[in-house]
Amino acid sequence: MKSALAREAIKNFASQFREEVLNYKPPITKINLELNPASLGQVSLSIAKKGKDLQVSITSNANVMTMFVQNAQELRQNLMQIGFNNLDLNFNSHENKGNQSQENNHEQAQDKTKISNIEEAQELVASGNIPSSLEITLPEYA
């Protein structure tokens, strides 16, 4: 979805993202955002402090994650225009083992594949592998 609709959705998301980060007060860590247009669904944000950085993990449905990958440069530009400089965007892909029990949580964390560049994420989407999350690191923001 590379279109005016996607650009508008990315811009709206960036604006909502900014509001949530500015209003972030620990220990609140999970926030759900309604996307615009509403047909896209919801985005879940998990916010955590890592030293001086703020780390935001974003999960949503496959359509939204695909839109984020295909419009990653636009997303980065929108976030930078509203004051988030030097941010890192990393897409993550999970290899699902199917078993979600407690003792497997540690193992599952190791099955997370970090996709460090946007081109790699776009190639994965083209081959049908949709990233499961987007990590945004805001340096020295916390």
- DSSP state, 99? -
Tell me how far apart the alpha carbons of residues 70 and 25 are, in angstroms, rounded to a whole number: 31
> What pLDDT digit, counting tens, does each position of 82-135 carry?
999 899 999 988 754 443 333 334 334 445 566 767 788 888 888 888 889 999
Using an 8 Å Cβ cutoff, are 72 and 64 in contact? no
CATH code for the domain in which residue 65 is found: 3.30.750
Q: Which domain holds residue 51?
A: 4-138
Distances (CA, A) of 9 to 32, 103, 111, 140: 15, 38, 30, 27
> What pLDDT digit, counting tens, does each position of 39-83 carry?
999 999 999 998 999 999 999 999 999 999 999 999 999 999 999
Report how many domains make up the chain: 1
